[in-house]
Amino acid sequence: MSKLVIAEKPSVGMALAKVLGAYQRQDGYMEGSGYLVSWCVGHLVGLSQPDAYDEKYRKWRRECLPIIPEQWRWEVASDKKAQFKILKELMFRSDVDEIICATDAGREGELIFRLVYYQAGCKKPFKRLWISSMEDEAIKEGFGNLREGSDYDNLYEAALSRSKADWLVGINGTRLFTTLYDKRLTVGRVQTPTLAMVVERNQQITQFQKQKYFNIHLKEDNLEVHKEKIFDEKEAKRIQELCSGADAFVKSVVKTEKNVNPPKLYDLTTLQRESNRYFGYTAQKTLDIVQSLYEQKLVTYPRTDSQYLTEDMKDTAENMVMAVQMAFGFGDFLPKDYDVNRVINNGKVTDHHAIIPTAEIQKQNLSKLSQGERDILLLISQRLLCATGEKQKVSETEIKVECAGEEFQAKGRMVLDMGWKAYEMEFRSRLKSKQKAEPKDSIIPLVAEGDVLHNAVVSATEHYTSPPKPYTEDTLLSAMETAGNEDFDEDTEKKGLGTPATRASMIEKLVSSRYLERKGKQLIPTDAGINLIDILPEKVKSAKMTAEWENALMEMERGKVRSEKFLADIDEWVHQLIRDFGEVSEEEKKRFASERKGKEQIGICPRCGSPVYEGEKNFYCSNRECKFCIWKETKWLSGMKKKVTKKMAVSLLEKGRVSVNGLYSQKTGRNFDADLVLEDTGEYVNFKLVFSNNKKKG
């Protein structure tokens, strides 16, 4: 009799076949030693489209919504029918008495196998291979300890419910807003809240009003203390004048020694974030690379949300610390002390432990790896050394000085023991990283409480507050992980958008749909993305609600939430959405008219943050409720023989001013140069001229 092993992809199937001794190549599978090893090619079976339920759904109509299937239908992907046929025939072979699910050990891997199994109508018993490494020994151990397929019924229910929920929200939401606005508008359970976070950040940036503030500095010899962020200019001048020439005294000197704990090991999200930070790799590229390393047996299973190892891995961890030091030359001059107990926590590991390198790094020729593979393998390896390293010890000194009743401060910092930071600094030096450098020691001169400072020099410096920074894949992944909650405690269970395995593909989908675009490392919303979020109701773009759904799916995996209850809630949500949005005005439909005509956005409205487009006679805000516009011709500008060009409008919107050459003076009959400055009262848009030293009116 034979056992049928079904992997998720051909490369994994081949690796399993080699370990099992199934060397005989057949059409779509390997055979030998009592095993048949075949594979899926990703998702072979998926949910049917609406028109499979009723032909009336072929045409998108508002009155046909909502679409809620009573009996769900599934179908084989048209381009994968050949492989499905092979799997079905193998399942029903008379000599096959047991099937082994060897797809990826996670939610989606479980769904890929189960849908094929049920679509084929198979009733034979199946076992589950659950491994976290593709090393030969790990595979052998996994096949020696196969688990009952039914142990993962809850995981399957969660995967199935996730698939149905995405279908219900995506199909109904997309059809609803597409028919309302006469433009294809894509809505998704995770996609839309993710886009909403990026659009909101973009609005915060475009609407940001910088504020001027002052820092006051008091200096005597090598000691300099500061009073920072004084927003009242008169108050800053008062303090500066008050302290000039006055004696100051040291109010307090506080010295403390602190420990800086090592970082945790990588889960997939933190690996993707740091890969983006160090190398500029997208989340999807990092996932592709680490998946390749996993299949080459060089790292453990990548799609994990844990940053810890289990107790039974203690010896493995210790061996890997030494292996990494030898393989990458970290052990030649760096500290030898380490403690693997820091990364051991059974309670923090569910399906898979953190990502670490395997013993294969000592056996394989790493120079044959691609540059990306070398980068990610080195990143994972140095993190193991950092996470198990000794705490960094620093001495911090805080001095408070009083002068004329005003308090000034200075802080000093000195590293006493580099600890784990030595590995990180060595890693950065190898990369010649442009990352923000480790803060240098700032040593404060020896002073004591009560010391008097004579003849201190007082000065003031002018600064401006900075707007929020655009999202990068690093910071967006972090926001997705916590559903935008910046105060999230990293040790509590996360209620995020999507899963570690799906966040990368969600970002890619938003980019390919042209709702987001990449500018260097930054992710910027397009006009289409901004307009879409602007018209969608809060319930559709709520990160909090989507995170609650994701948490319910996690609870379903644990058997604490029933799929019927979860899907009933989704059904009600969809019904409510359709009831709430019956129609929109013809005026509102014009919101997307500029997109349909291919108009180019020239800037952002300074009043409301909406896109600004060029019209026949003006440059106008696309938000119909906002009356902002810049007229191309005005009587005042015409008197100087000028009108606002597109290039000038771009600068006015971006900088609030534009340099103009060749303005005509009716008084002198001569030309002159000046800056044209935009003055928006909130009701009217006016201009004024500003002359610099080298731009004097003729």
Which residues are annotated as catalytic?
A: 301
> For 311, left (φ over 0), alpha (ψ -120 to 50), or beta?
alpha
Task: Decide: helix, strand or coil at residue 384.
Answer: helix
User: What contacts 88, CB < 8 A, 6 or more positions away?
Assistant: 120, 122
Q: How big is the CA angle at 697 (ends 693 and 698), to the nearest 5 degrees?
A: 125
Measured between alpha carbons, how far is residue 675 from residues 209, 636, 643, 659, 695 in Å? 21, 15, 14, 4, 9
Q: Which residue from 68, 66, 67, 103 is spatially nearest to 87, judged by alpha carbons?
A: 103
Measured between alpha carbons, how far is residue 354 from residues 82, 265, 580 in Å? 37, 6, 44
Place of tokens 């051991």: 344
Quote the strand ranges of 191-247, DSSP E.
Answer: 212-220, 223-230
Which helix (H) or strand (E) element contains residue 674?
A: strand 671-680
Q: Which residue from 163, 167, 159, 164 is spatially nearest to 187, judged by alpha carbons?
A: 167
Q: Phi then psi for 583, rounded to 5 degrees?
A: -160, 165
The Cα 126–Cα 153 span in angstroms is: 12
Q: Phi then psi for 570, rounded to 5 degrees?
A: -65, -45
In single-letter form, the type of residue at position 361 comes to I
CA 487 to the chain's CA centroid: 16
Q: Assess whether the previous peptide bond of 66 is cis (omega < 30° from 0).
A: yes
> For 370, left (φ over 0), alpha (ψ -120 to 50), or beta?
beta
The DSSP letter of residue 344 is: B
Measured between alpha carbons, how far is residue 635 from residues 638, 644, 653, 672 in Å? 5, 12, 21, 18
> For 32, left (φ over 0), alpha (ψ -120 to 50), or beta?
left
Q: Which residue from 224, 237, 207, 204 is spatially nearest to 462, judged by alpha carbons?
A: 237
The DSSP letter of residue 1 is: -
SS3 content of the chain, % helix, strand, coil (to 5): 40, 20, 35
Q: Which residue from 175, 141, 227 is spatially nearest to 56, judged by alpha carbons?
A: 175
Q: Indicate the angle between helix axes 283-295 and 10-20, nearest 10 degrees.
A: 20
The DSSP letter of residue 337 is: -
Measured between alpha carbons, how far is residue 6 from residues 13, 159, 387, 698 in Å? 7, 18, 36, 84
Q: In what order do the strands lie in the sheet with 671-680?
A: 657-664, 671-680, 685-690
